[in-house]
Structure 1
Amino acid sequence: MKKSITALLLVLLLLGCAGTYLGTNKDSLKLWPFHLTMPFDGLSKAVSDVHNNVFVIDNAKKTLHKLDSEGVLQFSITSDTGKNGELYRFNDMAVDDAGYIYTIRTLLDPYGIEVKSEQIVRYKPDGQFDRSLFNVDYNDATSKRYRIGSLRNVQVREGAVYYFNDEVQQLALYKIPTGDSAADPELVSRVKLPANKYVAEADGYKLGEMYYSTRSGEIYKVQLDGQSQLVYPLAGLDRTRRNFPESMHIDNNGRLVFIDFNNRAITRFDPKQPFVVETIMNEEKAKASGVELAFDATTISVDQDGSLIIVESAQMNRLLKNGTLTPTQTEATYNKDAQHRFHIAWFIAIISGLLVLYALKLLFVNVLQRRLPLMMKQILILVPVIAAAMILLSTVIYNSFSQKMEEETFSELVLLARNGQNLVDGDKLESISSPLDYRGEDYVSFRRKIQNVFENNVSDDNQGFYKAVYKYENGVIYRIMEDDDGMHMFNPFMQTPENQQVVLEGKPATGQWKDFSGEWRYAIAPIYNKSGKIVGVFETSKNLDGLIKHRHAVLSSIIRNITLISVGLLIVLMVMTYVLLYAIRKLRNSVGEIAKGKWDTVVTISTRDEVSDLGDSVNTMSARIRDYITKVENFSESYYRFVPQQFLRLLNKESILDVELGDQVEQHMSILIFNIRDFFQMSKRLTPEENFNFVNSYLKRFGPYVRNHNGFMNKYLGAGFMALFPNQPDAALNACIDMRKELEIYNMHRAKVNYPPLDIGIGLHKGALRLGIVGEEQRLEGNVISDGVNLATMLEKMTEPLGVSVLITDHVVEALDNPSSFQYRNLGLIQVEGVKEPLHLYDMYQGDPETLRTLKDRTKALFEQAVTYYQVGRFYDAREAFLMVIKQNRQDKAAQLYFYMCDEYFQHGTTAEWNGTLSVS
């Protein structure tokens, strides 16, 4: 049990370590362990350094990757999340010759629309954060910006970091040294913009070599005097305002390169020859190089060698100076360290799964099936069950809520999209014809109405909506107004089944899309002019990131509430279990006391339930067991009167139920035969009833002395009994002495009622015997089979002719622990009739009456000397010695018997068979 618990704790510790590791490397589990490449998804920018390393902004501006010249991923920088759920996005970047990365990091609201702040941040060559170089906040409601802030085109030139700041009516250029010193930005120049012009993009870092594009579709050059000169489109140029220049850059030769989405081409011209505008790449040229360009969310950047890096959402190409395209790159290869990390993470995940299975095996097989407190079992079972039930309940509630929320979102979006007809005048929309109308009177009126509807209450659920107005003209849908300052007017919008349903059938449509800013849910509806013609589309959408965050907040609330409910439920269950277990423990303790033999124990449970009923039943059972035990004990006590308990113990039996016919054991014991002399003559004078009463009376007086000295009655012999003593013969001798003394007291009592005195004889021998069960199946009896029993019986019969009360053999004397504590004398070798070998007997006179005991003690030495003379044939000396004993103790029958035998042998001599023994018949 302890090993299983130790193993379980060790497994849980390993799982904790594995979980910690996998938690810090959870991204490694998003790909299969043998997946060696990372597909691009949501590219928006790419630049290179002098070592041909490529830096890309990927994953909808959330991640910045560094790739080496072979396309192997070196590291990734993932954008953070603000403390209130705001989203960080990388909007631009540049790299210096030392490998430091400078990026414009934009903080958006939780819905990914409104800009909260912007920073220019530097990262070290290994991808670690270094420091923030510049920060700007957008707290003023009048300075609201969408998707991108005021910072433009960070670039590294001549040992400094340059960047533009759109100050609405003017454009400022700043620089910061690339050294480690925390220098403040230095203003390089500030350009006042032409009236009603607003900056879109800017490039360059010197007056006379700086260019910026406007939201109305022009490109201006900043001259040496700080004035702006229009260079695109010039009057007479085969370009319209709808050939909007996007992703504008200056190449290594001072030429301007940009994307013309209207012509679906990359365009270049030399400001020195502004009327010569050439298309250096379009769909046809790309196909000729085996490359598919979608010209959708496409950006370009100028490489160190003068080539162009073309980036679309899921691919990257280089346009070399010779006009050819390199093969499309759609993914990066993970480096060896990353691959090893994937393998380690998956290996640990698999091992963790096996450990979980092993932990479940330990828990439910090795632990729960063994003895455990019921409370612990309930915790180990209820906690996972409740947790699983709550997770399932949370999932069901969350999925139901998410589905309902998504349905409501679509319904709300459709309702708002339909309302676009009331916010946007179709006739005025029809009058907007080019980017020159940016922030014109109609444009501003549309924006104001939309903001009044969607932005009046920023604290309610109307936050996070993305609004857009499109113009439908000649079968093409153009962007007019969006909550994205990076989008330009009259940028063609791709055709989809949803928007074609709106412009062709006039039916609202819903859908979803994913772009660099995230995943969106949207609804679109038609905009009509007065004549009922569809002239535009109004769109309302919501970023799924915001919805997901809201869902997660709801899920967190659900989980928190369900967790609290689960904990409360678990506490209630534990309390109820504790109360129930308290009664059960009380019942268990009481039953334990009963099991220990405390039959008077009473179970007291006041819960008034099944446990209380069980307690009452236990009390009833206990009372019946108590009665039964009493009967059994009474029966046992009664039985032990017939079969001594010591007898069973010697047979190694617990009770009479274990006894079987033939059970036997060999032992060395002291055998005591007790008898009343002349009982036969006395019983003739008594009636049968008086005989029974007499026998029971004297046995009642003498029997306890046997038990007091650890002996037990083996058999009653009418006028006496046979007793056995398993221990040393000292106990048996003490029992004999006590019984002999008790006889004096007994005779005194008999004398008071004029009853004649009694005399007893006790024979005691120690030797081997076989004790066992004899009889047949229906009648069993404990018995002893041994020559020693016959010998003890003969000794008892010899007590009277020898004039002794207690006659013992030399086997008893030799086995005594403390012979000096007893008074006895040597009677010599006695030849008993029927026994082949003579017996060496002793007279135990310690229990004799005091007068007789004193005389025997006084003559002991002389008597034993006389016995020695007799045994060696010195009959005369023996006779004289015995005569002296008799003169002192005329009641000494043994001395008298020896005296007569000595005189006989002295007068007539012995027979040839005499062997120094005394014959007694």
Structure 2
Amino acid sequence: MKKSVAALLLVVLLAGLAGTFTFRERHLLAQNPLNRELPFVSLSKAIADRRDNLYLIDNAKKTILKLDKEGTLQYSIHSEAGKTGELFRFNDMAVDELNRVYAVRTLLDPFGLTVRSEQIVRYGPDGKFERVIFSQDYPDPKNRRYRIGGLKSPQIKQGELFFFNDEGARVTQYRLGAGETEPKPVFGFDLPGNKYLAEIDGLAPGSIYYSARSGEVYRAGADGASTLVYPLPGLDRTRRNFPESLRIDTAGRLVFIDYNSKAISRLDPAQPYIIEELVNPAKAQAGGIDIPYEKTDISVGPDGDVIIVDDTRLNRRMPDGSFAPTMDKARYSDGYVLRRWTVWAAAAAGALLLLWAIKLLYFDVMKRRVSLLVKQAFVFVPTVAAAMILLSAVIYNNFVAKMDEETFRELSLLAANGQNLVDGDKLEAISSPIEYRGEAFNEFRTKIRSVFDNNADSANRGFYKAVYKVENGIIYRILEDDDEMHMFNPFPITEVNGPVFREGKVMTGGWKDDTGVWNYAIAPIYNSSGRIVGIFETSKNMETLLAHRRGVLQEIVRNIVIISVGLLFVLLLMTFIQLSALRKLRRSVGDIARGNWDTVVNIRTRDEIADLGESVNTMAARIREYIRKVESLSQAYYRFVPQQFLRFLHKDTILDVELGDQVEQNMSTMICNIRQFYMLSKRMTPEENFNFVNSFLKRFGPYVRSRGGMINKYLGAGFMALFPASADDALRAAVELRKEVELYNSHRDNSGYKPVDIGVGLHKGPLRLGIIGEEQRLESNVISDNVNIATMLERLTDPLGASILMTDSVVRSLEDASKFQYRNLGLVQVGGMKEPLHLYDVYQGDPDTIRALKDRTKARFEEAVTYYQVGRFYDAREAFLMVIKANRQDKAAQLYFYLCDEYFQNGTTEDWNGTLSVS
């Protein structure tokens, strides 16, 4: 169990680490790990540095990408969200010699329309944010800016940052010098009357060029005066050749896009009447590229090449007029791909580890056991929640459909009302961008704002308005809430707007762009003669509605969660109450299972569980009776076959014992017998014999068990015991047995019985324990020559005058022989054995008188034994004589004395080997 819990904790820890890593890199999970390319989705700008690295504003102005000259992605910078849902967008950028990026970052309202503030921020060579260089807010609602602000054209020259700030009627140039922390104004100029800045480029006064929203290009002189550069009188240009995306190349020439001519043109201010088309449809087709001129922007590279971006493609016109292959995607680096695979692998590993943790919890820790409460909650709550979700989904979808229907109805009415807001005759009279902010333009804008922008906090927020002119089957932009769009910029004809100006229908639809999800309605604008001359568009940023929908959805989910929790609580409470009796029954059954057989189940619910409790009581009573019988039987078995014997055979119970089970052990064997029991038993009746033997064994058996021994067999007048542990235990048990004899005899004397004496033989060596017999009759037994040796020792105790005899194998096994009193009897040849035994007489348990005499004569006796063994029979005889004089009851000394005298008088036989022969 502990190992399972430890394994579970380890797996959970590893899963947590994998999950933490995956969560930190979760944005990579949205990318296919097999995809090694990043398609461009909505390009708006691209620039190049002197190392030919490309910097792109992609993903609808939300991302800056850095690509090396091979097209491999180096890093990406992602825009952030404001504190209250505002949107950050990148509108322009520049790169210095240290590969640091200076970006114009614009903060839009939550609807992606009006500009709240604008910043110039710097990112390090690795794409990490470093600092805000310059910041500007736009709090005045009367001078709103739509989608782009006033910070324009950041440029780097000799390590210094230059940029322009469009302040309305005046333009100020700022410079951030090397080592400076705040940019400072270095040049400024006033715009000509009724002119509004569109784009600007250049660094030094006199070589700064800007375009007006009315379609002209001016040069700002050092004195602050503006000089018209394009279009000059007499130039073969219409007022609809609007210069878009104005740039200055390395030679000081102006490069711009002309949507009306579908061309990228170049103008040398020194020769203003010569317009060179660098790119036109014929040259593009010859170069194998296609430019749709819808969302096109250009920049000029350090080598004079023109970088052209158009939504999802990037093209480059080289200085020699050739075109580089179209680029529509970036390649991921090998390191990035490996990192992405690592995140996916971590996610997969985390999922597998989580499954493994569930497996460990369910199978190893819980042992496949799950509470009934959990099972009910697992089935009931998801079922109810699923039903509620299904019902909520139906209601929510109907609610969304109704809201969409109401939104389109509202937009259709507002679009149709455009006929009242825009005078068709005045719209028809507008002929060129020169009329930007003219009388008719301002009239249209004032009326539209009076309807849509009357309250910044009302539901009118988020509307996008646009007025288009229809002329010769072409749709031109005239007025809309986007300062990036210019008057008379052609608008593509689609299946939606076509029926509006051809048939006068009001059309509705929707789209999704970088600013969010939009629903729109477009309606025709008529002149006084009833002819369609324009289109009025009313779009609604659905962010508010979607936020409301998300709020409704969140409320639904919250209510489902609350109701589910409530249902779960009620279910658990009811189940808890209903199962209280069952838990009581379980506890009682558990007590019975743990061996508390007297447990009584007491349930008063008067139901099926109460009946079950009574049945359990009946069952418990029968189990108690059965267990008593089993326990009695087990105890009876253990009296016949000692439990230690079963343990030696590695058996749990006697039921596991089989014929032939055996094991070899190194043990001490003890044989204990009553001396002269035959003569004693002749004077007793059979019943008295049984009673005497049983009383004797009952009194002396506990001494064996108290020293860790087991009585393996009863021998009629004694027993055989085995000691599996140390030889010290066996010897202590033998000494205690001998001492108990003295106490036992005193009791017999008090009762008028004759005393008894015992002999104990001890030997240690390998023996084999096992089960012998046949299938219908089994018996535990010990088979070994060492048992026979112990038996012979017991028989020799009387002729050798010892109460306890042990072999040298016992002496060698003693942990501390000095704790016992014994003497060396030398080598004794026992009849029936080839090899003599080295025996020792243990007298520690003898009566005090005998023990004192043997202890006093021990040294002389062992000296005499040594003389005997080396054949010095005279010296041995004299020594044994001295022992006998001190202890006339020493039978071993007497036996040695007679043999010494015999061998001294008559000599020994040829086969004598220094042993004492005892038959």
Matching residue's letter, 1:114: T
Higher deviation after alignment, 52-61 or 418-427: 52-61
- Give the number of equivalent residue pairs: 854
8 Å Cα contact 1:675-1:721 kept in structure 2: no
Q: Give the CA deviation at 1:301.
A: 5.3
Matching residue's letter, 1:165: D
Asked if residue 91 in structure 1 is aligned to residue 91 in structure 2, the reply is yes
Residue of structure 1 equivalent to 2:337: 346
Other structure's SS at 1:498 match:
coil
Q: Structure 1 residues 732 and 593 mapped into 2: Cα distance closer, same or farther (>3 Å)?
A: farther
Q: Structure 1 residues 674 and 288 mapped into 2: Cα distance closer, same or farther (>3 Å)?
A: closer
Other structure's SS at 2:184 match:
coil
Other structure's SS at 1:189 match:
strand
Match of 1:523 among 521, 527, 536: 521
Match of 2:416 among 415, 421, 424: 421
Distance of 1:442 and 1:677 partners within structure 2: 148
Q: Structure 1 residues 563 and 33 mapped into 2: Cα distance closer, same or farther (>3 Å)?
A: farther
Q: Structure 1 residues 104 and 410 mapped into 2: Cα distance closer, same or farther (>3 Å)?
A: farther
Residue of structure 1 equivalent to 2:149: 149
Residue of structure 1 equivalent to 2:43: 42
Matching residue's letter, 1:331: M
Other structure's SS at 1:147 match:
coil
Residue of structure 2 equivalent to 1:331: 327
Match of 1:312 among 310, 313, 319: 310
Residue of structure 1 equivalent to 2:283: 286
Distance of 1:517 and 1:546 partners within structure 2: 13
Q: Give the CA deviation at 1:408.
A: 4.1
Higher deviation after alignment, 771-780 or 411-420: 771-780
Distance of 1:116 and 1:258 partners within structure 2: 29
Distance of 1:350 and 1:392 partners within structure 2: 39
Q: Structure 1 residues 606 and 443 mapped into 2: Cα distance closer, same or farther (>3 Å)?
A: farther
Matching residue's letter, 1:87: L
Other structure's SS at 2:524 match:
strand
Residue of structure 2 equivalent to 1:492: 490
Q: Structure 1 residues 426 and 594 mapped into 2: Cα distance closer, same or farther (>3 Å)?
A: closer
Other structure's SS at 1:502 match:
helix
Other structure's SS at 1:185 match:
strand
Superposed, 1:160-559 pairs within 5 Å as: 161=162, 163=164, 165-167=166-168, 170-176=169-175, 178-181=177-180, 182-194=182-194, 197-201=195-199, 213-217=211-215, 241-248=239-246, 258-265=256-263, 278=275, 280=277, 283-287=280-284, 289-290=286-287, 291-300=289-298, 310-316=308-314, 325-327=321-323, 330-331=326-327, 342-354=333-345, 357=348, 364=355, 368-369=359-360, 373-374=365-366, 408-409=403-404, 412-413=407-408, 415-425=410-420, 428-432=423-427, 433-434=429-430, 435=432, 438-439=436-437, 443-459=441-457, 462-512=460-510, 520-528=518-526, 533-542=531-540
8 Å Cα contact 1:175-1:185 kept in structure 2: yes
Superposed, 1:761-800 pairs within 5 Å as: 778=776
8 Å Cα contact 1:414-1:510 kept in structure 2: no
Matching residue's letter, 2:88: Y
Q: Give the CA deviation at 1:139.
A: 0.4
Asked if residue 670 in structure 1 is aligned to residue 661 in structure 2, the reply is no
Q: Structure 1 residues 619 and 218 mapped into 2: Cα distance closer, same or farther (>3 Å)?
A: same
The runs of 5 or more residues in structure 1 that have no matched partner are: 751-756, 836-840, 855-880, 899-921
Other structure's SS at 1:425 match:
helix
Distance of 2:619 and 2:49 partners within structure 1: 93
Distance of 1:267 and 1:852 partners within structure 2: 137
Q: Structure 1 residues 395 and 511 mapped into 2: Cα distance closer, same or farther (>3 Å)?
A: farther
C-alpha offsets along residues 807-845 of structure 1, whole Å, 9 cap, x if unaligned?
979779999999999999x9xx9x99x99xxxxx99999
Matching residue's letter, 2:145: R
Q: Structure 1 residues 365 and 300 mapped into 2: Cα distance closer, same or farther (>3 Å)?
A: closer
Higher deviation after alignment, 498-507 or 654-663: 654-663
C-alpha offsets along residues 791-822 of structure 1, whole Å, 9 cap, x if unaligned?
899999xx9xx9x9x99797799999999999
Q: Give the CA deviation at 1:250.
A: 6.7
Distance of 1:333 and 1:106 partners within structure 2: 26
Q: Give the CA deviation at 1:739.
A: 5.6
Residue of structure 2 equivalent to 1:909: none
8 Å Cα contact 1:725-1:731 kept in structure 2: no
8 Å Cα contact 2:738-2:803 kept in structure 1: no
Q: Structure 1 residues 695 and 600 mapped into 2: Cα distance closer, same or farther (>3 Å)?
A: same
C-alpha offsets along residues 774-798 of structure 1, whole Å, 9 cap, x if unaligned?
77655566789998999899999xx
Distance of 2:256 and 2:467 partners within structure 1: 25
Q: Give the CA deviation at 1:497.
A: 0.9
C-alpha offsets along residues 396-440 of structure 1, whole Å, 9 cap, x if unaligned?
999997997588457514531332222432871233222455445
8 Å Cα contact 2:735-2:844 kept in structure 1: no
8 Å Cα contact 1:255-1:270 kept in structure 2: yes
C-alpha offsets along residues 582-615 of structure 1, whole Å, 9 cap, x if unaligned?
99999999999988x8656969999999999999
Other structure's SS at 1:83 match:
coil
Distance of 2:654 and 2:76 partners within structure 1: 88
Asked if residue 137 in structure 1 is aligned to residue 137 in structure 2, the reply is yes
Distance of 1:535 and 1:677 partners within structure 2: 145
Superposed, 1:496-895 pairs within 5 Å as: 496-512=494-510, 520-528=518-526, 533-542=531-540, 599=596, 627-638=625-636, 657=655, 668-673=669-674, 692=687, 696=691, 699-700=694-695, 703-708=698-703, 735=737, 742=744, 745-746=747-748, 749=751, 778=776
Q: Give the CA deviation at 1:114.
A: 0.4
Distance of 1:494 and 1:678 partners within structure 2: 136
Distance of 1:820 and 1:63 partners within structure 2: 93
Q: Structure 1 residues 236 and 808 mapped into 2: Cα distance closer, same or farther (>3 Å)?
A: closer
TM-score with structure 1 setting the length: 0.66
Distance of 2:670 and 2:321 partners within structure 1: 119
Q: Structure 1 residues 25 and 732 mapped into 2: Cα distance closer, same or farther (>3 Å)?
A: closer
Matching residue's letter, 1:482: E
8 Å Cα contact 1:289-1:325 kept in structure 2: no
Residue of structure 1 equivalent to 2:107: 107
Distance of 1:227 and 1:630 partners within structure 2: 119
Matching residue's letter, 1:431: K
8 Å Cα contact 2:317-2:323 kept in structure 1: no
Other structure's SS at 1:412 match:
helix
Other structure's SS at 1:418 match:
helix
8 Å Cα contact 2:671-2:718 kept in structure 1: no
8 Å Cα contact 1:63-1:78 kept in structure 2: yes
Matching residue's letter, 1:425: N
Q: Structure 1 residues 582 and 792 mapped into 2: Cα distance closer, same or farther (>3 Å)?
A: farther
8 Å Cα contact 1:71-1:332 kept in structure 2: no
Other structure's SS at 2:476 match:
strand
Structure 1 or 2, whichever has the larger Rg, is 1
The runs of 5 or more residues in structure 2 that have no matched partner are: 834-838, 853-880, 896-919
C-alpha offsets along residues 259-283 of structure 1, whole Å, 9 cap, x if unaligned?
4434444567788988x57573675
Distance of 2:61 and 2:841 partners within structure 1: 122
Q: Structure 1 residues 416 and 658 mapped into 2: Cα distance closer, same or farther (>3 Å)?
A: closer
Distance of 1:762 and 1:490 partners within structure 2: 134
Q: Give the CA deviation at 1:150.
A: 3.5
TM-score with structure 2 setting the length: 0.66
Distance of 1:248 and 1:843 partners within structure 2: 125
Distance of 1:92 and 1:821 partners within structure 2: 105
C-alpha offsets along residues 523-551 of structure 1, whole Å, 9 cap, x if unaligned?
32334557765443222335688888888
Other structure's SS at 1:350 match:
helix
8 Å Cα contact 1:95-1:101 kept in structure 2: yes
Q: Give the CA deviation at 1:294.
A: 2.5
Other structure's SS at 2:699 match:
helix
Higher deviation after alignment, 143-152 or 722-731: 722-731
Q: Give the CA deviation at 1:62.
A: 3.6
Q: Give the CA deviation at 1:147.
A: 1.8
